[in-house]
Structure 1
Amino acid sequence: MDDFDKSSNMNSKQLNSDEIKKSEMINEINDMRNQLFNRLVHLDLSARKLRETIRKFDAKVVEAKAFVRVHKESIDDGSIDIDRPLANVMLCERAKSLAQLMKMAQEKMTRLRQETGILRNQYRDFAIETIGLKIAVLHGDYIALVKYFDLLIQIKVSESSQLYTMLKEFFIEDIYEIVPLMADIFKYTFNHIGWPQINNAPGSETSNHLCQYRSLFCKLFRFLLELEHGIFPKSPIPNSETIRLTIFDSNNNDRVIYHAFELLFDPFVKRFDYHFMDPGSKLNDLQHPEWFLCSLEQWITVNEKFFRDLVDPVLLDFFGDDGKSATVELISCFVKLIEKKLQEDLPKMADDDLIFIRTMDELVIFSEQVNLIVPDLYENDPKLNPLFVIFSDNQNFKRFFKIERNRINEIIEAILDSETSWQLLFGHDLTFDSKFIICEAADEFASLVNRQIERSKHIPLEELRAEFLHSIIDMIDDYRLRLSQSIHDLQENWPFSDKFFGILNTFDFIHSISVDFVTKQTFPQSDSDRVNKMFIHMIEEITDRIINTIVSDFINEQPSEVTKEAVTLFNDISAKIYWIQKNISKNLFNRLIHEIAGRLQDAFFDNFIMESQFNRDGIKQLQFDFEHAFKAIFIAYSDRNIVFTFSTISDCLVVFNLSPQTYHIVQARHKVDSESEFRMYLQTLGIYSLKPSTVLALIDRRVGFN
């Protein structure tokens, strides 16, 4: 075979190969085109599968076009644009598919309009089963049309095309004829679902009908949410952002929008307007803000379970985990009603502070109760607090703050002026395990502080809440000043009055709760520390007054020499300490008893031991008085937390019981030892707390060794 024959054979093989390649490619393209067409015809419009088919189809077409451009001479020598026929074939098939889609869309639109008309005229005469079936057909056709429109967007059909224009106009204009109908049927179900706010029992409906009406209620509520938001969870529609922007979020003034929650809460709004906004209603009374606020609170309480059981599952299924709650939405609706009511009422109370503050009080109570129904409500959304809008006007807050401050002053004056202010309420029994003794004045003021702190939690604006908390600190400090003046006005000596002890116990109790609030970070620490230091100062001043009285009596009544009369003196001191224990809190007494013991020991040492001379009998009497009288006073108050050592008197007795020889050694060592060496020597003798000079002075007080 010559070279020409070889070349011819090679070209023939190449042509056969190209023909086979072209044939295979055309078959693959046709197969994919058929897949695409079948998906349109049979409504298998899963976005993921559809996009995958379109992608493969487009890729294969691109590959075919590239192949044609490279080999067009060997395929058709007469063709200069071989890829145009291929593109035309594809467009032809696409046009057939879109024509089929338009036909199906027109059928859905026609049936939807027909069913809408039938339902609009006859739904009240239909059985619940019939209504449910027709709503299902309407919803199915609506979802199908949304699928078609979403498909056009996915395959990038021209927005000027007939099908695209037809569907868009349908969604923007025609389809929203069904929205008022859905709203009417939705409200029609209210009387048949056992809604407690509408009727307290299912009434004449059988349990089967009740379930059917509730099912229809939930389906319609979801349908209305879809119509409002353009969200289709758990459906084959991919929730296209484009379709939402094109249809549901478009600025179309002709679009009919019914908000699902507004329809749901419409019975409450109408009832509120009828009872509390109508000028002719007896319940629309400026003097009684509690009437409308208590009604709103009751409506929330009564309906909370109903919404949780019936509506919240729809919201969870529709919005997912976005935290939608029907009760929270109801509260939001009621806050708007309160705002509307107060816009009308506040100007009427411009000159009446009493009604204004009563209204504010009732709003605080309403906020507290609502927060109990939905915990952390205001932390998640402060604007749901009805005080948010009111106090956003700073003039309203200033007025509230001024009235509140004046009212607090009046309450404090009433507390302190009451004849029963200092009567004990808690902790007066020694067997009662309480740290505090609380009188009426302390209890009422503590309740006032707690009340104000609770009120502060419902002031929604951070800056205003901080100002209100600061006013509570000022209130506590003002109470301290008033108590200080009261205690200074009492020119009393022993025995102190109930009022004296009551004021001391009140200082102690209020100081303790103030410290507790700082620990819990209720108050700013810097401001609280200043007030708490002043409380401590006053407590120390009053307790010093008590201790000074006891020590003064001890010094004045002390016998000039060691005799058995000392026992009588110590018994008197013991009685006074017992009286103090009965009349002050355990918290105070545990601190006070140590101070009394130390001060009495110092007085006993300074005014008796250092002023007397002691022979052997005197030392025995001193030992007896110390062990059986002085220490006996305090031993009853010793426990694992309170230990009395009386090291000064104990060391004095050690010195007095040293032998004469030891005295001489002590005096000699003092002359030659350094101070540290001498102190160490005294410790070997059992003397730990006395100064060296005091030891030498005590030796001089020792007489009559024989």
Structure 2
Amino acid sequence: MRAQLVENVEIYGREREAILQKMEKDYPDILEKIKNIMEKRKQYCQLYFDRKLDDLCSDIEICLHAHDFLGLVKKHVQLVMLTRDETFLHCSEEEIAEFMETVDDKVSSLNQRLYKELTSAFNDITTQIKFPFEGSVDYSGYSEQLEKMSNILQCLHEIKQWSGDNGDRLTILEILFSLFEKRFKFHFYGENRPTNQPEKPEYFFTLVTTWLGANMPFFADYVQKIVDRTNSEVCVKGEFQKRLVNLAIGKVEYLLDSDDFVANWSLFSHIVDEALNFELDLNSFGYPQDFPRVFSLFCRTDILNAWLRMEREVTASAIDSLILNENAFKNRYREVSDVDTFLVPEFADSFITMMQSVLNRYKLLPDIHAQALFFKHQLMIFDEFRTRLVQILGQAESPWTEPFPQILNSLWYIAIVLNDWSSMSEFIHIQNYIDSGNRIRGAFDDSKNLYHHVWLQKVTALVNSFGQMIALEIEEYAKQKWFSVTTSKPSEVTPSMYSFLRKIRDLIGKITTSISDNSIKKIYEMTCRMVAIVIMDDVVKRTNFNGKGAAQMLYDVETCVVPLMHSLYTRPNRAYFDFTVEEPKWTELLNSLKLLALPAPTAILLKDEMGKIPEQMVEDRLNPLGIRSLTKEEVLGRFNQRCDLTIR
């Protein structure tokens, strides 16, 4: 297309030259008149141009002094486009070029003065309304001034387009941002400024968030319209957010570049906390995740290492303080403990809160590797804390006194928390990064299992202690002469059983009041089983019976022990554990006593028969007697405890 255009111009030039030569030869008088007309026309164009130029410049001056900024923009556009007036359509290229040069010179000198005057007027308005705003503002009360500011900015944008500097399309934004930058630097970089205190990073963080909230409507509602008129795709709100956040980033980076500042853990930990709060505030403003972030500075290797060192030592010290606190083992909600199904002591609750705070800090780090380092640190802290709890349990005087039950509740609660955390998206993302997708597992599964393992170990110790204590109380009962009972049919409970029952009641009561509802089911199951084991192993298996003695013991168990179990393991309106005699140990106990209580003739015949039938037929033979779940060996062993089966 360009080649065709050049060719057409050359053809036009040749034909024009040919016509002029022909006219000069054949019609010299007409050619002379044409030249005179063209000269007159040239003079007219020059006069018209000069007058139009003067009129537009004058109109611009009038608009400027009248503060008619929209009119000024209109006249300025007409000025820079003057040579496109239809009056100049027939002017030569040389003439148009001369006019354009004149316009450019005029616009250049005029723009310098306009820029100065407009920025002065703009600054007057910002001073009047105290812009940038630093608090809640009723925009309706400043609508006139804000509209005028908007119009001035539009003028400045128009001037910028014809200033010969096209490198920055966002000049009006630069004008506005400079107001914020100037004030920020005044407060937070100047020497001897009361606001420029390294120990008070909240000052500049708060100012930035205040600016964001107070000035966002102006940028979104006024400035965006100006930018939209230029067909620009710039999001003013986003540019405004980034520029203000960069002010905070610059200040934080300035502080972190100081080795003394980073080495001072009081200052360093404080700026981490304030940066965290700032990041959360940014999220409340809808600040995009891919925009500049203050927390990105803390991913720097030297800063990250310093932060991890600080976390390790501060956490270790904090754990010591938590455990040594005089209220460490008191319930966190002791005033309303009935609402806490976990019965969590203060030290465990504070520990989880501390771990949650660690998570809240590092999950905002934009670098997954940095997050992974903190995650590993957190795992280590959980392991160390579990070890501390085991040490404390090892020094406990008794599983029935503080702090044993409280630590059991803590172990269970922490395992529950770790299980919940394992399914959190933040931790899954980190775990996948660490494992590189090789394993599918929860982030805290290993730690959770270890806490649960320790809990089960210590619960087993508690239940074993329970068994030992009730075994002592049943010794007198076991010493009864069960081989010589003469009562034909039991009607009263053996008196020596009562101390055993009271001990069970008291110990289960302690468990009920000290162990959390959320974890107590397993302990109920184990203690219930232990009661059957103690009666079976410490009494039944070690005792010689006659039929009436076994019947009396069966009566004692069914009349007292079983109902007591039902009552102890059921709370009002909430059954935590459904006691049943179908539990294997209870089944063994009750069926053993039923077997031992058989009348002597029946027992003699059954014993003789048991010696002859195979194992597979034992169950069928016992079922008609209401006895089950005993092996042939167990049946014969029980019969060997009968001392009244001698055939005379």
Return the TM-score normalized by structure 1. 0.68
One-letter amino acid of the counterpart of residue 379, structure 1: Q
Residue equivalent to 1:94: none
2:323–2:347 contact (8 Å) kept in structure 1: yes
Following the alignment from structure 2 to structure 1, what is the Cα–Cα distance between the partners of residues 416 and 273? Answer: 31
One-letter amino acid of the counterpart of residue 357, structure 1: F
Answer yes or no: is 1:552 the counterpart of 2:437.
Answer: no
Are the structure 2 counterparts of residues 482 and 107 from structure 1 closer, same or farther at C-alpha, using a change threshold of 3 Å? farther
Answer yes or no: is 1:642 the counterpart of 2:577.
Answer: yes
Within-5 A mapping of 1:10-409: 113-117=57-61, 122=65, 126=66, 130-138=67-75, 141=78, 145=81, 166=100, 174=108, 185-191=121-127, 197=133, 210-221=142-153, 259-304=171-216, 307=219, 310-311=222-223, 324=235, 326=237, 328-350=238-260, 352-354=263-265, 356-375=267-286, 377=287, 379-381=289-291, 383=292, 385-388=293-296, 390-409=297-316
Following the alignment from structure 2 to structure 1, what is the Cα–Cα distance between the partners of residues 223 and 601? Answer: 101
1:616–1:704 contact (8 Å) kept in structure 2: no
Q: 617-626 vs 564-573, which deviates more?
A: 617-626
Following the alignment from structure 1 to structure 2, what is the Cα–Cα distance between the partners of residues 529 and 594? Answer: 25
Stretches of structure 1 lacking an aligned partner (at least 5 in a row) = 1-57, 59-100, 150-158, 231-246
1:308 Cα offset (Å) = 5.2
Are the structure 2 counterparts of residues 224 and 147 from structure 1 closer, same or farther at C-alpha, using a change threshold of 3 Å? farther
Within-5 A mapping of 1:495-506: 496-506=400-410
2:329–2:402 contact (8 Å) kept in structure 1: yes
1:285 Cα offset (Å) = 2.2
Q: 556-565 vs 682-691, which deviates more?
A: 682-691
Three-state SS of the structure 2 residue aligned to 1:460 is coil
One-letter amino acid of the counterpart of residue 636, structure 2: L
Residue equivalent to 1:693: 633
One-letter amino acid of the counterpart of residue 493, structure 1: S
Q: 674-683 vs 512-521, which deviates more?
A: 674-683
Following the alignment from structure 2 to structure 1, what is the Cα–Cα distance between the partners of residues 631 and 234? Answer: 75
Answer yes or no: is 1:533 the counterpart of 2:449.
Answer: yes
Three-state SS of the structure 1 residue aligned to 2:411 is helix
1:488 Cα offset (Å) = 1.2
1:416 Cα offset (Å) = 1.6
Percent identity (aligned): 17
Out of 666, 676, 679, the position equivalent to 2:619 is: 679
Following the alignment from structure 2 to structure 1, what is the Cα–Cα distance between the partners of residues 374 and 50? Answer: 66
1:286 Cα offset (Å) = 2.5
1:577 Cα offset (Å) = 1.0
1:107-158 CA distance string (max 9 Å, x none) = 99876655555556x3xxx3xxx4244245247648x959979xxxxxxxxx
2:508–2:568 contact (8 Å) kept in structure 1: no
Following the alignment from structure 2 to structure 1, what is the Cα–Cα distance between the partners of residues 624 and 96? Answer: 116
Residue equivalent to 1:579: 510
Q: 456-465 vs 568-577, which deviates more?
A: 456-465
Three-state SS of the structure 1 residue aligned to 2:323 is helix
How many residues align? The count is 560
Out of 566, 582, 585, the position equivalent to 2:497 is: 566
1:406-432 CA distance string (max 9 Å, x none) = 1111111111222221122226867x1
Following the alignment from structure 1 to structure 2, what is the Cα–Cα distance between the partners of residues 212 and 220? Answer: 12
Out of 310, 329, 332, the position equivalent to 1:422 is: 329
Are the structure 2 counterparts of residues 337 and 493 from structure 1 closer, same or farther at C-alpha, using a change threshold of 3 Å? closer
Three-state SS of the structure 2 residue aligned to 1:610 is helix
Following the alignment from structure 1 to structure 2, what is the Cα–Cα distance between the partners of residues 452 and 551? Answer: 42
1:601–1:646 contact (8 Å) kept in structure 2: no
1:436–1:587 contact (8 Å) kept in structure 2: yes
Are the structure 2 counterparts of residues 660 and 104 from structure 1 closer, same or farther at C-alpha, using a change threshold of 3 Å? farther
1:297–1:366 contact (8 Å) kept in structure 2: no
1:364 Cα offset (Å) = 2.3
Three-state SS of the structure 2 residue aligned to 1:622 is helix
Residue equivalent to 2:355: 449
Following the alignment from structure 1 to structure 2, what is the Cα–Cα distance between the partners of residues 373 and 533? Answer: 37
Answer yes or no: is 1:628 the counterpart of 2:560.
Answer: yes
Are the structure 2 counterparts of residues 601 and 393 from structure 1 closer, same or farther at C-alpha, using a change threshold of 3 Å? same
1:280 Cα offset (Å) = 3.5
Following the alignment from structure 1 to structure 2, what is the Cα–Cα distance between the partners of residues 183 and 518? Answer: 58
1:278–1:284 contact (8 Å) kept in structure 2: yes
One-letter amino acid of the counterpart of residue 545, structure 1: A
Are the structure 2 counterparts of residues 350 and 198 from structure 1 closer, same or farther at C-alpha, using a change threshold of 3 Å? closer
2:126–2:132 contact (8 Å) kept in structure 1: no
Return the TM-score normalized by structure 2. 0.73
